[in-house]
Amino acid sequence: MTTTRRERIRETTLEEIISTAWKQIAEQGVPALSLRAIAREMGMTAPGLYRYYPSRDDLVTALIKDAFDSFTRHLETARDEAFDANHVEQYRAVCLAYYQWAVLNPSRYALIFGSPVPGYQMTEAAYASSRKGFLVLQNLIEKARAAGSIHPPADFPPLPPELVSRYESLRILGMPGDPVGTHIALATWSTLHGVTALMLYGYLEGFLSDQVEGFVLQMIDQLVMLFGFE
């Protein structure tokens, strides 16, 4: 892994472009992201950026990958810090970390979980990054189940057979987890996304004001009860 001087400089420039882009997204939003503005702020001209990213879309793809990596790392850190705790606490920690990352990185969250852009296709590398984040949640749930720490209540609505067989076929495709574990992970993910997205958009603030985090914690508690974490 020898890196020449030129390669190091190139790497630095690549990073500077990304960080400048995030700065502008935070200030003006994704739609207003402008190559010319980035170049201006970096003290160079717009066409020069094309030596690094062949188009605006490719830059956005790089930003998406960057955001997913940060997101996944944050979840992993939360999981690792709760390593000594029991499964419920680990689950709670990762769920809360999901929300907190969004609070700390609203622009990044909006970019990867915001409105899809018709015609824009996400790179396979970016999709792989997205799965990595989800896997943190799914693996944790899987371990808790294997340890017998999850007992859904008696009146938990049974999964319809079509859904179960769909989950089964995922396992064949190499995904970890039994049907119930996969379902719990998907349901958790959906719920967290809903709360977080509504919060970021400002729809919850009108109702909850300074109690948004309290609401999120309550929602997590409800998930714990619903799935029978112990």
Partner DNA sequence: AAATATAGTGAACATCGTTTACATTATAAT
Partner DNA sequence: ATTATAATGTAAACGATGTTCACTATATTT
Binding site for a copy of itself (CB under 8 A): 26-31, 110-111, 113-120, 127, 130, 153, 155-157, 159-160, 162-163, 166, 170, 182-183, 186-187, 189-195, 197-198, 200-204, 206-211, 214-215, 217-219, 221-222, 224-226
CB-CB neighbours of 150 under 10 Å: 21
Identity of the residue, 6 or 153, whose beta carbon is nearer to DNA in the bound complex: 6
Q: Which does 50 bind (CB under 5 to 8 A by kind): DNA, a copy of itself, none?
A: DNA
> What is d(CA 14, CA 40) in angstroms, rounded to the nearest whole number?
15
Identity of the residue, 28 or 222, whose beta carbon is nearer to DNA in the bound complex: 28
User: Per rule CB under 7 A, is residue 48 in the interface with DNA?
Assistant: yes
Backbone dihedral angles phi then psi of residue 82, each to the nearest 5 degrees: -100, 25
User: Per rule CB under 7 A, is residue 201 in the interface with DNA?
Assistant: no
Q: Is the alpha carbon torsion for 124, 126, 131, 132 positive or negative?
A: positive
Task: Provide, rounded to whole angstroms, the least separation between the CB of residue 29 and a copy of itself.
Answer: 4
Residue with tokens 């609505």: 157
Identity of the residue, 34 or 191, whose beta carbon is nearer to DNA in the bound complex: 34
| Residue 104, CA atoms < 13 Å, CB-side half-sphere | 10
The angle, 0 to 180 degrees and rounded to 10, between the axes of the packed helices 106-113 and 56-81 is: 110
Identity of the residue, 43 or 153, whose beta carbon is nearer to DNA in the bound complex: 43
List 43, 119, 160, 174, residue binding DNA (CB under 7 A): 43
> What is d(CA 85, CA 91) in angstroms, rounded to the nearest whole number?
10
Identity of the residue, 51 or 158, whose beta carbon is nearer to DNA in the bound complex: 51
The contacts of residue 175 (CB under 8 Å, 6+ apart) are 182
Q: Which does 56 bind (CB under 5 to 8 A by kind): DNA, a copy of itself, none?
A: DNA
Q: Which two tokens stand for residue 104?
A: 């700390």
List residues near DNA by CB under 7 A.
4-6, 9-10, 13, 33-37, 39, 43-48, 50-52, 54-57
